[in-house]
A and B are shown apart, each in its own frame.
Chain A
Amino acid sequence: MNKKGMTLVEIIISIALISIVLVFLFSLLVTVNDMNDEADINSTYLINKSLILRNIEDDLSKANKVNISTTCTNGEIDGIQSFYSSYNVSEYEIKYQASECIQFEYTINDGENDIKSTAYLAIYYYQPKEEYVISYIHGNTKATRILPEFEKYNVNQTNGKIKENFEIKYETQNNFHKITVPIIGNDGKDYSILISYYGTMSVNI
């Protein structure tokens, strides 16, 4: 009867080889997990960005007069603050700097009357999560000026904060307009938002 098993050398070599495979397998698992997280964040960001863009483009495409500016005055800032406080989100600290808020004033004709509306693309700091958030807030300011019905869509970049030193870039030529809100995540990726418009637009940036 042959009772010869593995020799010590064979066992050591086997363990060494299995360890190498396990190390490789573990690093592969970590890589795949990171890739999955990245894809998840990117897809969420893309969906939220599309929602913001859809609202901006919807508003502007219906408008017959558009004025954009980065001077979100105190009154408008109050409006944004009231909006957040009405939703009990007072922990939001809204940045007042002109470069972090774009105001869109536009007029839509409903068939009979011109209706003036105001919308804001605001970038502010969300204290609890220590991250920057982008919101587009819009609504109709009707004859009796009440607080507009606001909607907001947030872009949360859970893996990174938006850099503070960004400036909104505006380019125009022959009725073509482009606004770039430059955003670079902590992961070094470009998350900027491009807003395009074709038509007459007055600009105060």
Chain B
Amino acid sequence: MKNKGFVLMETIIVIVVISVALLTIFASYNKILTKVKTENKYDTSEYIYMTYHIKESLNDSIEAQKIDEASTLTNYKETIHNIFGVEKIYILTNLDKFGNNEKKVDAYMIDYIRKLDVRNNDELIIVEYKKPVMDPINYEQKKDSNGNELYETYIASLEW
């Protein structure tokens, strides 16, 4: 009868295998959490309501035929930028054709649109917002080492 137990080499191999398995599980869990954290910035209730107000104001301006006037449009863009932090507004009319225009939009928007669960013929208003990152100590906007103000990007959409 061979009574030889575990040798060092076997122990090491088992430990390595267990470690690799644990690391893989942790990495995949972390990936899921990161994805959830990113998606927390998409379609939050606050920004959906903001998008609703943007849509209403755009409809009002279109009805009043004011949106075509350059000065009115500039004023409108400044207002929604200053108050709601609107960076960009897109009207998505055909999801199929979006693939050809990916280079014209930024990475956040590409990621958001790729995650959209819509039919190709749905028309959407998609608004990108910038929200200041606040310092938890004094509730003032955070700045990076170069003195630039820090922002987070939020995106929300509604049927157009």
Contact = CB atoms under 8 A, between A and B. Distances in A.
Contacts of B75: 174
Contact of A5 (B5, B15, B45, B83): B5
B11 interface: yes
A5 B22 contact: no
A171 B139 contact: no
Contacts of B56: 198
Contact of B49 (A1, A18, A53, A175): A53
Contacts of A188: 136
Chain B facing A: main interface SS: helix
A143 interface: no
Contact of A196 (B6, B26, B46): B46
B79 interface: yes
Contacts of A197: 53
A12 B53 CA distance: 69
Contact of B83 (A4, A10, A177, A192): A177
Contact of A17 (B12, B40, B54, B133): B12
Interface in B105-152: 133-134, 136, 139
A18 B15 contact: yes
Interface in A184-205: 184, 188-190, 192-198
B36 interface: yes
Given A10-B7, A54-B45, A196-B84, 11 more contacts: A2-B3, A10-B8, A14-B8, A14-B11, A17-B15, A24-B22, A35-B29, A174-B79, A176-B83, A178-B84, A184-B139
